[in-house]
Structure 1
């Protein structure tokens, strides 16, 4: 009897050691150096969690993973979120990660956005929420009032940058962080004082910067462009900014603004409406915002692209001079388009 008991004990020890060794051995089902998986529910059972990881091709072996989760009552401690797993991770290391809620951080990289749908898609791509929920939030003045913006000016609290979150961060918490970052931005480098000096509010500076951002990619041109628009604003002249026509038409691929486009009925059409549009036409870089705040003092009221297509512009203080430069550019553009059509025909 003692021999039998001894043998059973030895077998149990061997099986236990073998099982522990198995749990600590590589058990991932993917080939990349690392990958991610998500758990979207807060009350999943051990079986559901195991099935989810199998379906996402994270683990090779389901039953031992489920057994440990169930026997150690770990499932109830697991939070929804996005988790990072390295290749050859063991089942136990994955279980420890889930139990300790070691979620992977998410980098939300905001660059130039033009419409709310772009932002909604970006958030939906990186977080647990979907684009429909984001659009509902962005289109609700009740949701936005705590940030002192409305559905037209919501972009004015969004600065292009990289922000760190977790996958299950709520929409409101995302915007809380964006709002705090924006508020801090305006308190630095004497920006609020500079805003007053040019006779605008931070919101208006942001809107103007969005137009300047779309007008040119050349930084040493942007300051003079900003000065033109500031002069026109202060003289109660229509801005007549071509990028606002593209925005009004929601056609950002336009390369030429024809006369008929200037009749587009929209509050964003700065040919038909004086002053700034009701909201920004993109999310300008912080560099462009600072360019507007530090725009040189000039007497320029007009500018038009140079006929050499260098990306630079001619700046003028009177319409006659501007008109002469504009004709040069139109002639060069017509010639370039005619040449292009001829090459297509050949």
Structure 2
């Protein structure tokens, strides 16, 4: 009888221990452990992250970080981290969280437009993916990559077409650059290449001219007409005389650093630069900024007309008045200069 009581006691204790262990396992693995109010929270795990780095991001999001630690160690997550962007949804348990941050790297949409140079672009992209701006700039300006793909430092910006693209957050600088080359090549369909050839322009020249068109006019409905003016000038061997190229040339000089040129003056026309399209025939060496897709398509599909000149329209800010003769253009230009002077804009 006494022996049976001992057996029953041992069995009861065993059941209690098993129950407690089962409760602990359930609590560690399957009890909800999120304390944020949003439906979803994201953590970003760098390529060089340690478990402590991940833990520091998770701690504010979880009720019981120690329980998470225990399961992470048991499932060997602490020594087998994965880089990327991961989602944790409200009400998740530790087991689901570990499964998510170990195997469900989520892509994100990155976007860019209107960047004026590769350094600006590198800085913009570095705020959206793991790669830093220096690594991105070095990848973008790698001379071997550029020469192998038909670019140089002057034309390199033209490879990056403004849009939104899907990337993994932990993409490297080279991954970003290489995908942008694929997107650039995808953009240049047979039809677009044929249209460029019809205009006697290379792909780089189309982008370069589009950058000038875009700097002249942000109005998509006017850009084909502006493109037509410049193509008419190229066709007859007339200098482009594009004011945005003068600004670009000026901004390369120390005296114009950290300034804003709001009015192009005769002094700017004397700047010795291949980007000075008042002094040099043809297109400049490369784009002066990143053109919108609308400007690129405007160059490829220009308006057919006989205009050779245009001047900003003071009565329709953002638009221009077009002229076929120099006399008519000078009248339009004088009207706009009077407007600038009335606004106190003298430089």
Q: TM-score range by the shorter chain?
A: 0.7 to 0.9
Question: Which residue does 1:344 correspond to in 2?
Answer: none
Aligned-partner SS, 2:343: helix
Post-superposition offset of 1:225: 0.9
Give yes or no for contact 1:129–1:171 (8 Å, CA) kept in 2: yes
Q: Which moved more, 1:192-201 or 1:303-312?
A: 303-312
Question: Which residue does 1:211 correspond to in 2?
Answer: 212
Residue 148 to residue 53, structure 1, CA distance change in 2 (3 Å): farther
Question: Which residue does 1:293 correspond to in 2?
Answer: 300
Give yes or no for contact 1:137–1:144 (8 Å, CA) kept in 2: no
The equivalent position to 1:116 in structure 2, one of 115, 118, 134, is 118
Question: Which residue does 2:140 correspond to in 1?
Answer: 138
Post-superposition offset of 1:282: 2.1
Which structure has the larger Rg?
A: 2
Count residues with an aligned counterpart. 334
1-structure distance, mates of 2:264, 2:33: 60
The equivalent position to 1:147 in structure 2, one of 143, 146, 149, is 149
TM value normalised by structure 1 = 0.87
Runs of 4+ deviating beyond 6 Å: none
TM value normalised by structure 2 = 0.87
Is 2:342 aligned against 1:335?
A: yes
Q: Which runs of 5+ in 1 are unaligned?
A: 341-346
Give yes or no for contact 1:238–1:275 (8 Å, CA) kept in 2: yes
Deviations, residues 26-80 of structure 1 (Å, cap 9, x unaligned): 32354433222122245745x56434533xx333422222211222223344311
The equivalent position to 1:273 in structure 2, one of 280, 294, 300, is 280
The equivalent position to 1:127 in structure 2, one of 111, 124, 129, is 129
Is 2:45 aligned against 1:39?
A: yes
2-structure distance, mates of 1:259, 1:122: 34
Q: Which runs of 5+ in 2 are unaligned?
A: 1-5, 252-257
Q: How does 1:193-208 map to 2 (within 5 A)?
A: 193-208=194-209
Give yes or no for contact 1:212–1:222 (8 Å, CA) kept in 2: yes
1-structure distance, mates of 2:343, 2:48: 61
Post-superposition offset of 1:102: 0.3
2-structure distance, mates of 1:50, 1:279: 47
Post-superposition offset of 1:240: 1.4
2-structure distance, mates of 1:325, 1:92: 71
Question: Which residue does 1:27 correspond to in 2?
Answer: 33
